Amino acid sequence: MHTSTPTQSKTHTTSKAIFSMIRTRIIIDGQITDTYGIEVSSPGSPPILQCPDISTDGEKLSQLIDLMNELEVDPIHTKYIIEDFLVDHEI
């Protein structure tokens, strides 16, 4: 079972992109597990990119998302930022 629901994270609306956290609830061996990912959208527009299931550590991913919004990261860099995050956190 996969369900994705956006969760609240701080957003910075002066950027061309808004990075938000998404949560996916999955069942593994009868246990419910939440995984977290990143959703990218533009103000007033539907999501332009969803990267689910990045981490089970929502707190660390939320910190990354807040930083991405603060620095007004261009969405084109999202893949590389996620790769660096996974290497740095050995997930």
Q: Which domain holds residue 61?
A: 3-88
Q: Is the pLDDT assigned to residue 29 strictly greater than 80?
A: yes
Tokens standing for residue 77: 């860099």
> What pTM was computed for the model?
0.77
**CA neighbor of 64 nearest in space, from 81, 83, 87, 51:** 81
Note the pLDDT tens digit of each residue in 52-88: 999 999 999 999 999 999 999 999 999 999 999 999 8
Domain tally, the chain: 1
**CA neighbor of 66 nearest in space, from 10, 8, 23, 6:** 10
